[in-house]
Amino acid sequence: MTGVSPAPEIRAAPAWLKRAAGLARAVLAGTMGKVSAASVGLMLILAVSAGIIAPYDPIAIAPMDRLEGPSLSHPLGTDQLGRDLLSRVFEGTRTVMEVVVAGIGGALAIGLTMGLVAGFGPRLLASALMLVSDVVMSLPMMLFALAMTAMLGGGLETVVFVVIAFMVPAYFRVARGQTLTLKGADYVAAARAMGASPLRIITRHLLPNMAGPLLVLIAMDVPTVIGIESGLSFLGQGAQPPTPTWGSILRDGFAFIRQAPHIVLAGGLPILIATVGFTFFSEALRDALDPRLVGKKARPK
């Protein structure tokens, strides 16, 4: 821009878009970032397009073709009921992602609200929330999950409930910690001094500055949720037949591991790729966010 003439200029791109682009660039800078982002991207694409690109109906039974190994017509083979494993894996990706989104989304919404309340609200309420959160965090996850499924019956809804219940404390703690820290920041005081309403302070000043740590937490939690869902499905408490998820495919494969080991692979491989991919992705994300918060460019004197 030259000078201060108020002639109409091209408006600069919105701030959040610039930041997102910068973040993407930082994450994709390293090899790990590229590879993990690729696998994450693949998962997401599959999740969205499963219904369209799956070659077969994932729950269609074809007893004639049962327990076939990988072939041209069935790249991952078929399971004990003749269902195409590739299609089941695609559909499973969608299901898992649904659980992830519902679970983490729910945990985030509840935990964030609780965190803001604890950060701003009366001390007594904050202490009570902390107490509840600590109790939930101390419960052993699998036992808690199994207890829940015993009480509420199996099924993916129960899994989502378990995930939310299990993960809320972490989001609560991060949100609360960030709220307390940022509450005392000078720029929050500056906003108040300018007359900003509490709502504006939360939406324009607190949430954007909390986004970083929360984003990293989300990315790191995805493998955990995949693990919970797969584990519960493997134990028969999660996805109920015929709903395919990687865990239930694994369960099916386990029974036929001698005759048809490819089923176990079909179930296990996606879990491995997804878990490792998301873990590395979250680390790349965390690294990309950290120095940016401090400011990489040296300050001119």
Partner 1 sequence: MVLEIEDLVVRYKTGGWAGALRSKSQRHVEVLAGVGLELNSGRTLGVVGESGSGKTTLARAVVGLAPIAAGVVRVDGMRASGWGDGPWRFIRRKVGFMFQDPLASLDPRMDVATLVTEPFVIHRTQGIDRRREAARLLDLVGLPARFLDRYPYQLSGGQARRVSVARALALKPKLVIADEPTAGLDLSIQGDVLNLMTDLQAELGMSYLLITHNLTVARHVADEIAVMYLGRIVETGPTDAVYRLPAHPYTRALLGARGGGERVVLEGEPPSLSPRPHGCEFHARCPIAKPRCQTEPPAEQVIAPRHRVLCHFPLIQPQAAGTA
Partner 2 sequence: MTPLLDIADLSITYAAASGPVRALRNVSLTIAKGEVLGLVGESGSGKSTLASAMMALLPANAAVNGRLEFNGADLFALGPEARRRLRGNGVAAIFQDPFTALNPATRIGVQLIEFQHHKTGIGHAERSRRAVAMLGRVGISDPERRMRQYPFELSGGIRQRVLIAAALLTEPQLLIADEPTTALDATTEMQVVALLRASRALVDGAIVLVTHDMRLVADLCDRVAVMYAGELVEAGPTAEVVTRPRHPYTKALLACDPARIAGPVRRFPTIPGQVPDPAIPRDGCAFAARCTEASGICLTTPPPMVRGDGGDFARCHRLVA
List residues near partner 1 by CB under 8 A: 1-4, 6, 9, 11-12, 15, 19, 123, 185-187, 189-197, 200, 204-205, 208-209, 293-295, 297, 299-301
C-beta separation of 182 from 210 below 8 A: yes
298 binds partner 2 (CB under 8 A): yes
Nearer to partner 1, 178 or 230 (CB): 178
List, in order, residues 6 or more apart from 92 with CB less than 8 Å away. 58, 244, 245, 246, 248, 249, 270
In the complex with partner 1, the residue whose CB is nearer, 52 or 199, is: 199
Q: How far is the CB of 15 from partner 1 (least distance, A)?
A: 6
Chosen from partner 1, partner 2, none, partner binding at 151 (C-beta under 5 to 8 Å by type): none
Cβ proximity of 189 and 196 under 8 Å: no
Q: What x-and-dash track marks residues 239-278 binding partner 2 by CB under 8 A? A: ----------------------------------------
- Residue whose CB is less far from partner 1, 155 or 177: 177
Which residues, 6 or more positions from 265, have their beta carbon under 8 angstroms from its beta carbon? Answer: 76, 253
Closer of 15 and 294 to partner 2 (Cβ): 294
The least distance separating partner 2 from the CB of residue 296, rounded to whole angstroms, comes to 10
Asked if residue 252 lies in contact with residue 263, where contact means CB atoms within 8 angstroms, the answer is yes
Cis peptide bond N-terminal to 270, omega within 30: no
1 CB burial (10 A radius; 0-12, 13-18, 19+): exposed
| Least distance to partner 2, CB of residue 298, Å | 8
Angle between helix axes 141-152 and 156-183 (nearest 10 degrees) is: 130
